[in-house]
Structure 1
Amino acid sequence: MQSERTLWRSRSLSTILITGAAGGVGTLMRPRLARPGRTLRLLDIAPLEPAGEGEETVRASITDLEAMTRACDGVEAVIHLGGISLEAPWAQIIDVNINGTYTVFEAARRAGVPRVIFASSNHVVGFHTPDEFPLSEATIPLPDTYYGVSKVAGEGIGALYAKRYGLDVISIRILSCFPKPRSLRMLSTWLSPDDGARLLEACLTVEKPGYRVVYGVSANTRGGWVSLDEARALGYEPKDDSEAYAAELIARDGEPDPGDPVFTYLGGDFTLPKLNAENL
């Protein structure tokens, strides 16, 4: 007889809904999460590339409960990447990131989806300082922006739906997911696209996770800013290291300066005065 974990793995290879599929992370994950026998249902309000084999596309807003409930029909898991990915005025953050995240969870509940993976952010804990590193998954939130506040709210919504309604919910505090590191700071915070897919695959296939918070980062030589204990407990093992790009970045920008304000807090330039409310 197949084990429960094997049965869950088999079910997880059917239909997965990815919100924000036209965005930066969604675009990177789209080919990396493709599997034989798996359908990726790709949702965004922005135009998407035409569906390929094993794909479906849905043009809808994450704030539209009726459309999201339809999109969740027959889905085994939702990967919620949709939303505003940078700082923005409070009204926009509330509408898209907070109300939109509630809508995704409520649609999943109504449609009977058993698992939601929520793309949270290191900006939930952005005002923690290097003397506190590595930050654990239990570190209290110190958001650095309205955007960071929205991710705190999203984690809270996830916890509510896990405890009240029995959904499996994993919130991933992603650090910096790009094809390659863009700055000296990202030598410490980079999550490679391949490692991002490895982490999502672990979140999709782990048996009965309940509610979890994990960090998303690669095995960077200059890392150690956050703990990967909970991510590894799900089965994640990062393989990539930003050090492969260090010489290129240092040749361009010089050696990292510990006095640079972007190294004062985990949140980097999200903590700088340029993002004060009067500047938005």
Structure 2
Amino acid sequence: MTRLLITGAAGNMGAMLRPLLRRPDRTLRLFDIAEIADIDSATEEFVQGSVTDRAAVAAAVDGVDAILHLGGLSTEDSWANILSINVDGTQAIFDAAVAHGVTRVVTASSNHAVGFWTHDEAAGQPLPGDVSPRPDGFYGWSKAAVEALGRMYHDRFGIDVVNLRIGSSFEKPPNYRGLASWMSPADTARLVEASLSDNAKGFHTVWGISKNTRAWWSGAEGAAIGYRPMEDAEQFAEEFLAEHEWTFDDPILQRVGGAFCDHPLGKRM
């Protein structure tokens, strides 16, 4: 792998991952509508543009070996914006991948693609990484659509696709739900590297979480592509549980999507 395109490279996750994915034998091609000022000229190059601009997408994809697709809206928004940016934008990425012979696309899906699955429905077993979609809003639906696009482009065009159902990828868990759903920056990079490896040929949908003591989402699908998380959100437990009791009776913990399942969609339409 010599040239990796990162869409949405100016966003929080893109900025977090860039230093962790740099290697002497790899060039990171950064693509975003926002300008990126801190380019490392030895390992990075920048193409400015939006996923809604197909000519810009084609220019960004031309000459890369793989794509890490982080670009798009990362929370609830209007139906029109979700369709234009998350769905049409992702289809543009896949279409350009076919046109330019790119054989590996790693997509940032989300736990919100399956947000209405519950701990009770897991029936005492870890919830599989490829459990069927049950989106908790327009954003979650768009991520389920992205996964389905990946399935079609794999079956029809033979592209290797890995959908990452990311939990909470931040420096630390954003709340006590993150004790189950957190994925550390270093583990996020480990998951991306596994997704780019030969172990990940084919089509895969995996959870993006660390090795959390309180996790109830399966690590088996990630392990199958070589993902070995090293960190555990339990290091933050004392801080968060000082104010909250850990119980799966709480809908925030009971449902995959947590509070997103209660989001007032009508106010954003």
TM-score (norm 2): 0.94
Out of 27, 30, 36, which is 2:18 matched to? 30
SS in structure 1 of the partner of residue 47 of structure 2? strand
- Do the aligned partners of residues 208 and 245 (structure 1) sit closer, same or farther apart at CA in structure 2, a change above 3 Å counting? closer
Q: C-alpha distance in 1, partners of 2:259/2:147?
A: 23
Partner SS state of residue 195, structure 1? helix
The structure 2 residue matched to 1:95, chosen from 72, 80, 84, is: 84
* Alignment: residue pair count: 265
Query: Structure 1: any 5+ residue segments left out of the alignment?
Result: 1-11
Going from structure 1 to structure 2, the CA distance change for 1:258 and 1:166 (only over 3 Å counts) comes to closer
CA gap of 1:68–1:279, structure 2 versus 1, over 3 A, is closer
Residues 244-272 of structure 1: per-residue CA shift (max 9 Å, x gap): 11112223x33335443312311001001
Check conservation: 1:87, 1:275, Cα contact below 8 A: no
- Cα distance in 1 for residues equivalent to 2:113 and 2:36: 29
Specify the alignment match of 2:31 in structure 1: 43
The alignment's C-alpha RMSD in Å is 1.4
Distance, in Å, in 2 between the alignment partners of 1:170 and 1:150 is 16
For 1:231, which of 208, 218, 222 is the aligned residue?
Answer: 222
Q: Which aligned pairs between 1:1-280 and structure 2 lie closer than 5 A?
A: 12=1, 14-52=2-40, 53-133=42-122, 134-207=126-199, 209-223=201-215, 225-251=216-242, 253-272=243-262, 274-280=263-269
SS at 2:190 equivalent: helix
Aligned-residue offset at 1:124 = 1.0
Identity of aligned residues (%): 46
State the alpha-carbon separation in 1 of the partners of residues 34 and 184 from structure 2.
Answer: 24
Structure 2 spans left out of the alignment, 5+ residues: none
Counterparts of 1:33 and 1:278, CA distance in 2 = 38
CA 1:43–1:279 in structure 2 vs 1: closer, same or farther (change >3 Å)?
A: closer
Preserved contact between residue 40 and residue 56 of structure 1 (Cα < 8 Å): yes
Query: In the alignment, is the contact (CA less than 8 A) between 2:5 and 2:64 conserved in 1?
Result: yes
TM-score normalised to the size of structure 1? Answer: 0.91
Displacement of 1:45 after TM fit?
0.7
Q: Show CA shifts across 1:121-158 (max 9, x none).
A: 11111001111232213422110010010011101111
1:105-125 deviation per Cα after TM superposition (whole angstroms, max 9, x unaligned): 111111111110011111111
Counterpart of 1:266 in structure 2: which amino acid?
V
**Could you tell me how far apart the structure 2 residues matched to 1:114 and 1:132 are?**
36
Q: Equivalents in 1 of 2:5, 2:30: separation in Å?
A: 6
Give the 3-state SS of the residue equivalent to 1:173 in structure 2. Answer: strand
